[in-house]
Structure 1
Amino acid sequence: MKPTGMPVTRPTANSIWRSFQTSGKKHLVLTGASGSGKTTLLASLFSSPMPGVTSWVVPEEGVYLKNNCSKEIIQIGRYHPDPTHKRNQMLAIPECFDEKGTAFLHSCLHATSKWITIDEIGFLESNSCKYRQAIRTLMKHKQLLMVVRKQKLPFLEELRNHKDVFLVDLDQPYGNAGCIIMASGQGTRFGGNKLLADFNGQPLIDFSLNIIKNLFTISVVVTIHKEIQSLCIKQNIPVLLHTFPHRNDMIRLGLETIGDHIDRCVFLPADQPLLQKESMISLLLCAENDKNSIWRTCYGDIVGSPVIFPAEFFEELQNLPLRKGGSLVINNHSDRIRTFSVSNINELRDIDTPDDLSQLLHRNL
């Protein structure tokens, strides 16, 4: 299991944008706890400010809303003493939302930009039916990038769960995903254990081990090699040593180890040293927003690994015929396959022979 308090590797603006474009969704919503970096991330998604509105808090004074185009500012919330709790509470100013705030949003309908940003939407908006409806109208005519507070309020949940929204929760951006690193190859064509071969000064398997750090609820390296077991133990990475001969054994053992703890599982080969962490992150974001599909990487018409299977396929994967791998499940459910395109074909290349290793080293120079 991921240790409590372990930092989560946050998605970059580029990984979010790539996965959003792959999804086919219309709107992008960033959510998360206070201080999770939503506004900072929003600003990094565009090279210049977009039409829309921006709100902020002035401590002990109130909340203000600015029209990004006209720069006009209004107050939409004010502090009010709460004698029962000996502190101030924030109260909405509904008439400001209903009049100026709604007008700000309506003006965005005439902007030449197809994108509108709203930073942020919280509990104060629940006090204005007109303002909420103006947001819904914008969603019909524009593409919205919204920062939404992580609160259980009907309108906020409506936005987060909207069918056309691609949601990124910065507190848990990859959901409850697990990973099995497949490291049980015999290395017959390589002439030995290829996973310990030197690749730019590191054992080949180290590149896969680095990719998975701080991404998964739980992960495990499944291997037949005692040297790989020792390497994983030194790096405090869960590892399962076994003596079974076939690929279906590796899949079965991995899922028996972690399958009960996760909603989906990534199968990551241990011999793709040029796979980028950003590609893995983008693939995970895609799967978190489309929980019913089998997701895999591709480059043009070439498909490859890693592959993400939802939990509903675990039983089928655990009962594969002798010598069969996950491709059998993929072929059985071709209508459920979706792909994410990596930036470079070399990300998908694996190493089976010394010549493969030499070629990838040359391409990585």
Structure 2
Amino acid sequence: MNNFYMDASAVLNFYNITGKKHLFITGCKGSGKSTLLNNLCVLLNENFDFLRSYKTMKPEVVIKSNLIENAREYTIGTPLTTNPDSLSKGNNMKAVQEGFLKCAIPAIRSHIDNSNNRFFVIDELGYLESSCIQFQTSIFELLNSSHVLAVIRKQSTSFLDKIRSRKDVLLIDIDTIFNNLSCIIMASGMSKRFGHNKLTADFNGKTLIENAISESRFVNFKDRIVVTRHNDVAEICRHENIHFIKHDMPYRNDMIRIGVTHIINNSYSDGILFLPADQPLIKRTTLQLLCLLFVYHNNKICRLSFNGNAGSPCIFPSHYFNELLNLPEHKGGGFLIKKYPAQVIAVPAQDKYELYDIDTPDDIIRLSAISH
């Protein structure tokens, strides 16, 4: 089962790190755009003004704002047809100018002229909004004067395209943001200090390898693979329905070569995340932030860190794949990180324990207690 959804904390941290003025969320119908926007609003921890549009049971599209008296609803769209099957498909509404002139535009004007709130939230901007020139002018004035968090319809119109192309806009497409990222779960360690295969040891009701597989599902990777030398790990992978490669090669560079070769041969990827199977406290927020920043800086190596202490996981862009295939004996990705320090971006973890790995049975006890 894939439990992927966009984490609002990761998105908000990403937005703040990039320094962009505006954040726009797009995606197909039902992708969770409005849910993500609502979760972002909760995390803002400050007051904001808003403009919300939604379809009623009539059906009509109405709009309202906290800046309009009594938050009254105004109609901005009515059906082009009475056929219920057609109403759920495509551009099936015609614009009603009154809602823009009496609600949307005055709300934006009030925010610009009178509000002390830093953010203006819009859910959503779509094709109906593209029909009102006065509203479009107000939106661009708003973008020039305030900070906007908004859902934007996944459709090409002149109005929407102009917004998406602005340099001060950070656009996140929920459908495709991680489409060209792959993940290799490194599960070939010998567990010499542990006494037996640590990846099958229990950690709060799951084996470590099951925990790592769950972590890998925090991001909607294009390809996901476990590289292991262990029969018991391979059996768990079968049960978890995740692809694996079992090998008997001796060194870390061999494991990396095996995994990278699979990714290259099976799916084009802009980058590969190497996820250790023995770091059980990595959070969804952190892993998504790591991937978001990699996509934003798509020519850089991104690695997790906390207060200047760097660790794993790491993501390597595709132009390092050839070097990953030809690492010196015994060496791993750290060899390239030391070789190209100026190309490395440190991505902040939520806490130091996310970087901790398990080497001994005592580590299991200690980190299990921390996770509760």
Same structural fold, with TM-score higher than 0.5 when normalized by the shorter chain: yes
SS in structure 2 of the partner of residue 350 of structure 1:
coil
* C-alpha RMSD of matched pairs (Å): 2.8
Whether 1:131 aligns to 2:126 is no
CA–CA distance in 2 between the matches of 1:319 and 1:239? 21
Unaligned runs of 5+ in 2: none
Any conservation in 1 of the 2:185–2:277 contact (CA below 8 Å)? Answer: yes
Counterparts of 1:303-322 in structure 2 under 5 Å? 303-322=310-329
The equivalent of 1:92 in structure 2 is 95
Q: Deviations over 1:49-89 (max 9, x none)?
A: 72131112235553322232222543333334599x99894
Q: Which of 65, 68, 78 is residue 66 of structure 2 equivalent to?
A: 68
The equivalent of 1:57 in structure 2 is 55
The equivalent of 1:350 in structure 2 is 357
Any conservation in 1 of the 2:79–2:92 contact (CA below 8 Å)? Answer: yes
Q: Which sits farther off after the overlay, 294-303 or 20-29?
A: 20-29
Change (3 A) 1:80 1:11: closer
Any conservation in 2 of the 1:168–1:285 contact (CA below 8 Å)? Answer: no
The equivalent of 2:260 in structure 1 is 255
Q: Deviations over 1:283-327 (max 9, x none)?
A: 223333443332221111111111122222222222222222112
Q: Which sits farther off after the overlay, 219-228 or 355-364?
A: 355-364
Q: Which of 109, 117, 125 is residue 112 of structure 2 equivalent to?
A: 109
Change (3 A) 1:49 1:33: farther
Q: Which of 38, 43, 48 is residue 43 of structure 1 equivalent to?
A: 38
SS in structure 2 of the partner of residue 146 of structure 1:
strand
SS in structure 1 of the partner of residue 327 of structure 2:
coil
Q: Which sits farther off after the overlay, 345-354 or 170-179?
A: 170-179
SS in structure 1 of the partner of residue 48 of structure 2:
coil
The equivalent of 2:153 in structure 1 is 149
CA–CA distance in 2 between the matches of 1:86 and 1:33? 17
The equivalent of 1:16 in structure 2 is 11
State the Cα distance separating 1:361 from its structure 2 match: 3.5
Q: Which sits farther off after the overlay, 122-131 or 143-152?
A: 122-131
Any conservation in 1 of the 2:180–2:271 contact (CA below 8 Å)? Answer: yes
Unaligned runs of 5+ in 1: 1-5
The equivalent of 2:27 in structure 1 is 32
Change (3 A) 1:274 1:102: same
Taking structure 1 as the reference length, the TM-score comes to 0.87
State the Cα distance separating 1:174 from its structure 2 match: 2.7
The equivalent of 1:3 in structure 2 is none
The equivalent of 1:187 in structure 2 is 191
Any conservation in 2 of the 1:179–1:216 contact (CA below 8 Å)? Answer: yes
Any conservation in 1 of the 2:228–2:247 contact (CA below 8 Å)? Answer: yes
State the Cα distance separating 1:229 from its structure 2 match: 1.4
The equivalent of 1:121 in structure 2 is 125
Whether 1:292 aligns to 2:292 is no
Q: Deviations over 1:120-172 (max 9, x none)?
A: 10012222333223222222222110111111223323333433333333334
Any conservation in 2 of the 1:175–1:288 contact (CA below 8 Å)? Answer: no
The equivalent of 1:237 in structure 2 is 242
CA–CA distance in 1 between the matches of 2:285 and 2:194? 29
State the Cα distance separating 1:96 from its structure 2 match: 5.6
Match of 1:232, as an amino acid?
Answer: C
Any conservation in 2 of the 1:265–1:309 contact (CA below 8 Å)? Answer: yes
SS in structure 1 of the partner of residue 137 of structure 2:
helix
CA–CA distance in 2 between the matches of 1:232 and 1:171? 26
State the Cα distance separating 1:278 from its structure 2 match: 3.0
Identity %: 36
Match of 1:280, as an amino acid?
Answer: L
CA–CA distance in 2 between the matches of 1:316 and 1:130? 55
CA–CA distance in 2 between the matches of 1:296 and 1:181? 15
Match of 1:231, as an amino acid?
Answer: I
State the Cα distance separating 1:274 from its structure 2 match: 1.5
CA–CA distance in 2 between the matches of 1:56 and 1:217? 33
Counterparts of 1:170-185 in structure 2 under 5 Å? 170-185=174-189
Change (3 A) 1:292 1:8: farther
Any conservation in 1 of the 2:86–2:92 contact (CA below 8 Å)? Answer: no
Taking structure 2 as the reference length, the TM-score comes to 0.85
Any conservation in 2 of the 1:32–1:149 contact (CA below 8 Å)? Answer: yes
Any conservation in 2 of the 1:199–1:361 contact (CA below 8 Å)? Answer: yes
Q: Deviations over 1:25-56 (max 9, x none)?
A: 22221212223332233222224872131112
Any conservation in 2 of the 1:167–1:289 contact (CA below 8 Å)? Answer: no
CA–CA distance in 1 between the matches of 2:124 and 2:369? 47
Q: Which sits farther off after the overlay, 43-52 or 242-251?
A: 43-52
CA–CA distance in 2 between the matches of 1:364 and 1:53? 40
Any conservation in 1 of the 2:279–2:358 contact (CA below 8 Å)? Answer: yes
Any conservation in 2 of the 1:22–1:340 contact (CA below 8 Å)? Answer: no
State the Cα distance separating 1:94 from its structure 2 match: 4.9
Q: Give the count of matched residue pairs.
A: 359
Any conservation in 1 of the 2:210–2:236 contact (CA below 8 Å)? Answer: no
Match of 1:57, as an amino acid?
Answer: K
Q: Which of 191, 200, 203 is residue 204 of structure 2 equivalent to?
A: 200
